[in-house]
Amino acid sequence: MCLMKTLHVQASRPYDIVIGQGLLSGTGAMARTVNTGNRVLLVSDSHVAPLYAEQVLDSFRKAGYSASLFTFQAGEERKRLATVQEIYARLAAENLTRGDLLAALGGGVTGDLTGFAAATWLRGVDFIQLPTSLLAQVDSSVGGKTGVDIPEGKNLVGAFWQPRLVVADINTLSTLPPAFLADGMAEVIKAACIQDAAFFSDLENSDALSSLNAADTVRRAVDIKRRVVEADERESGLRKLLNFGHTLGHALEKHYNYQYSHGRAVGIGMMLVTQAAERAGLTPAGTADRIGSLLTKYGLPTHDPVPPEQYLANAALDKKRSAAGLDLVLLRDIGRAFVHPLPISQLDSFFL
Ligand SMILES: NC(=O)c1ccc[n+]([C@@H]2O[C@H](COP(=O)([O-])OP(=O)(O)OC[C@H]3O[C@@H](n4cnc5c(N)ncnc54)[C@H](O)[C@@H]3O)[C@@H](O)[C@H]2O)c1
Ligand SMILES: [Zn+2]
């Protein structure tokens, strides 16, 4: 029995997000509802491909596609142009034409890489996302941001390119290492913080990742991202709210030269910015404590041994800063976020 929920994203090119258990074997048939091509290249990494690629390839073949697999070594280090070039070489060898399809099976690295290849191959071909990490299911597979890292920085090269379909099979989370589950939970907690107080309470009062609740957790978190990106596809305003916890989170990640988990950094970033906002009287007292309890509950730290004064200056280099300063995201309350412009000159006094 496969229960599924479908969310519809009203983007420049609208698409569905299908969430449920045991969906991967139906991928080909679902792809057929959005694409009429002959060929599909399935892209996956060396951890995920051995677990799930065969059933996805099978389903594509049953739906009449000529399907093949491109696998790369798992890890952020491979999210770069060299890997995209290897994908182009395969697309050329297999003569993948304008009406054909790419499919990303894996975490955010696979999705970002594949989406970027799809955005640029023949100036844009269809692609679908089959996210298998919690982070990819609730965050990176939705919204249309694709791209790669270059030595000068993470995600500096990319394109907005919407998927034609997202299929999140919750069963794949059973093989995801616990550290990556916790990583994804940071984005789930962030989503609740910025938009949905009732969801936040449910995260407090039940086990969001139990087999009973996981699909619902993914659905609610992704629905928050859906609403935000629908309202602001290209990040001019509302989409900034998704950066809650990310300004200091990125600064901390940079301090560790990106050898630090993104989810853990975002959790610490949410704590620091909320504590500072409480001191400034902008957020009700006790809010950071509630966020901290939730982080602890889902296996995430609330602080790092390195104090913020050692990495705060990195925030001034944030690629999302404007000339005037930083657009910090703060909480008016749990479930209600707002943008608080902060001149760089006030960075120290606000946080320290
Ligand atoms: N495009 C966006 O909007 C957006 C948003 C947030 C993050 N990102 C990007 O996402 C990336 C991080 O995503 P991630 O944490 O999913 O990284 P990832 O793709 O490296 O996956 C994490 C690890 O889990 C493994 N894995 C994934 N699914 C698995 C499964 N079901 N079973 C076993 N192992 C599995 C992967 O092989 C990898 O080792 C970063 O590159 C980040 O920049 C993009
Ligand atoms: Zn994030």
**Between 236 and 113, residue with greater pLDDT:** 113
Ligand 1 atom 33 nearest Cα? 176
Give the ligand whose atoms come closest to the C-alpha of residue 136. 1
Q: Where in the chain is the domain with CATH 1.20.1090.10?
A: 182-351
322 falls in which pLDDT band (50, 70, 90)? confident
Q: Indicate the DSSP class of residue 80.
A: B
Which mutation among 9, 45, 109 tests ligand 1's pocket best, with the greatest number of atoms within 8 A of CB? 109
| 187 Cα nearest atom in ligand 1 | 6
- The answer, yes or no, to whether residue 318 has pLDDT greater than 90, is no
Q: Is the confidence at residue 180, as pLDDT, over 60? A: yes
Residue 2 pLDDT > 70? no
Q: May I ask the CATH architecture of the domain 182-351? A: Up-down Bundle (1.20)
Q: How far apart are CA 143 and CA 232, in angstroms?
A: 10
Residue 24 burial class via C-beta count within 10 angstroms: exposed 0-12, middle 13-18, buried 19 and up: buried
C-alpha closest to that of 127 among 139, 111, 108, 150? 111
**193-207 mean pLDDT:** 98
Tell the residue nearest (CA) to atom 16 of ligand 1: 107
Fold for the domain defined by 4-175: Rossmann fold (3.40.50)
Burial of 174 (0-12, 13-18, 19+ CB in 10 A): exposed
Mean pLDDT of 178-197: 97
Q: Residue 311's pLDDT is what? A: 96
Q: Which residues of 214-249 are buried (b: 16+ CB within 10 A; e: fewer)?
A: bbbbbbbbbbbbbbbbbebbebeebbbbbbbbbbbb
pLDDT tens for 281-294 read 999 999 999 999 99
> Phi/psi of residue 15, each to 5°?
-155, 165
The 10s digit of each residue's pLDDT in 132-170 is 999 999 999 999 999 999 998 889 999 999 999 999 999
Q: What pLDDT digit, counting tens, does each position of 64-95 carry?
A: 999 999 999 999 999 999 999 999 999 999 99
- 102, with CB counted inside 10 A (0-12, 13-18, 19+), is buried
Determine which residue's CA is closest to atom 44 belonging to ligand 1: 140
C-alpha to C-alpha distance for 314 and 263, rounded to whole angstroms: 18
Mean pLDDT (whole number) for 179-192: 98
Q: In what order do the strands lie in the sheet with 4-9?
A: 4-9, 15-20, 165-169, 126-131, 101-106, 39-45, 66-72
What is the residue-averaged pLDDT of the chain?
A: 95
Instruction: Measure the CA–CA gap between 85 and 5, rounded to whole angstroms.
Output: 36
Number of CB atoms found within 10 A of residue 300's CB:
23
How far is ligand 1, taken at its centre, from the CA of residue 302, in Å? 22
Rg of the chain in Å (alpha carbons): 20
Ligand at minimal distance from the CA of 139 is 1
Q: What is the pLDDT of residues 95-109, one digit of tens each?
A: 999 999 999 999 999
| CA 45 to ligand 1 center in whole angstroms | 10
The answer, yes or no, to whether residue 326 has pLDDT greater than 90, is yes
Single pTM value for the model:
0.96
pLDDT at 299: 97
Q: Rounded mean pLDDT of 208-224? A: 96
pLDDT of residue 314: 93
- Roughly what angle, to the nearest 10 degrees, separates helices 108-120 and 81-93? 60
Ligand closest in space to the Cα of 266: 2
Place of tokens 């697309």: 91
Protein residue whose Cα sits closest to atom 19 of ligand 1: 107
Band of pLDDT at residue 12, cut at 50, 70 and 90: confident
What's phi and psi for 304, nearest 5 deg?
Answer: -120, 150
Question: How high is the pLDDT of residue 1?
Answer: 41
Pocket test for ligand 1, best of 135, 150, 235 (most atoms within 8 A of CB): 135
**37 Cα–ligand 1 center, Å:** 28
- Residue 168, strand partner residues: 19
Q: Where in the chain is the domain with CATH 3.40.50.1970?
A: 4-175
Q: What is the mean pLDDT of residues 110-118?
A: 98
Measured in degrees and rounded to the nearest 5, phi and psi for residue 70 equal -115, 120
pLDDT of the residue at 324? 79
Q: What is the pLDDT of residue 3?
A: 76
Strands (DSSP E) found in 108-174: 126-131, 145-150, 153-160, 165-169
pLDDT score recorded for residue 212 = 93
Q: Supply the pLDDT for residue 319.
A: 72
Residue having the nearest C-alpha atom to atom 42 of ligand 1: 108
Q: What pLDDT is recorded for position 232?
A: 82
- What percent of the chain lies above the pLDDT cut of 90? 91
